A and B are shown apart, each in its own frame.
Chain A
Amino acid sequence: EDQVTQSPEALRLQEGESSSLNCSYTVSGLRGLFWYRQDPGKGPEFLFTLYSAGEEKEKERLKATLTKKESFLHITAPKPEDSATYLCAVLGGAGNMLTFGGGTRLMVKP
């Protein structure tokens, strides 16, 4: 059974204070690791897909990396508008269903 664990559950940062969110996973045959951003009362918004260890992707202040056991979402010099819940999900095996982690609630104070 695929498992995804995100840490920390909540993270408070000052504006400009860089940090990283962790996503540890156990999956048989990783076919993709996905990062999403979710604002309160909204559906998840797609950020990145990573497919193999060593892969990295960037978008503005966000950078996602992948190893064989975990993924990191690095946030560089965050701004208050980066405050949201960040979700990690994996696609593995022969199925087509995502398995989600519990999410990390990020709060960036001005």
Chain B
Amino acid sequence: GAVVSQHPSRVICKSGTSVKIECRSLDFQATTMFWYRQFPKQSLMLMATSNEGSKATYEQGVEKDKFLINHASLTLSTLTVTSAHPEDSSFYICSAREGLNYGYTFGSGTRLTVV
């Protein structure tokens, strides 16, 4: 089945620095990938839709200058948290869909801790 690989699984960074998270579709091409944020004991909140070769579409309330998304190829999307602050600490998850007749596959998530 479809596999989505997400790295790193955990990252700790200092306040004010930037962190990049990678999301790769390993055995299929994904023109669209999705980035979610999840707080403890809460459900997934869609942050943005990443479109290959074009700008990402951000959900209301998500700062596009803080959460930079790049979808440079059909198998790779990256999320960069710029000038990270402690309130950005969270669990970030990416997702992709192989095609219209398939389910959405999720990465294993990235636990970001900003100190």
Residues of A within 8 A of B (CB): 34, 36, 41-46, 49, 87, 89, 96-98, 100-103, 105
Determine if B103 and A102 form an interchain contact, defined as CB atoms under 8 angstroms apart. Answer: no
With both chains docked as a complex, state the minimum distance between the C-beta of B34 and any C-beta of chain A, in angstroms.
Answer: 7
Interface size class of chain B, counting residues whose CB lies under 8 Å from the partner chain? 20 to 34
Is the contact region of chain B dominated by helix, strand, or loop, or is it mixed?
A: strand
Number of A-B contacts (CB under 8 A): 45
Determine if A44 and B32 form an interchain contact, defined as CB atoms under 8 angstroms apart. Answer: no
B111 sits at the interface (CB 8 A): yes
Complex-state Cα separation, A105 to B106, whole angstroms: 19
Instruction: Kindly list chain B residues whose C-beta atoms are within 8 Å of the C-beta of A102.
Output: 42-43
Determine if A87 and B43 form an interchain contact, defined as CB atoms under 8 angstroms apart. Answer: yes
Produce 1/0 per residue, B89-112, CB < 8 A to A.
Answer: 001010101000001111111010
Complex-state Cα separation, A25 to B46, whole angstroms: 18
Contact sample, A vs B, 20 pairs, CB 8 Å cutoff: A34-B103, A34-B104, A41-B91, A41-B109, A42-B108, A43-B106, A44-B44, A44-B93, A45-B106, A46-B103, A46-B104, A87-B44, A89-B104, A96-B49, A97-B34, A97-B46, A98-B34, A98-B95, A101-B43, A103-B43
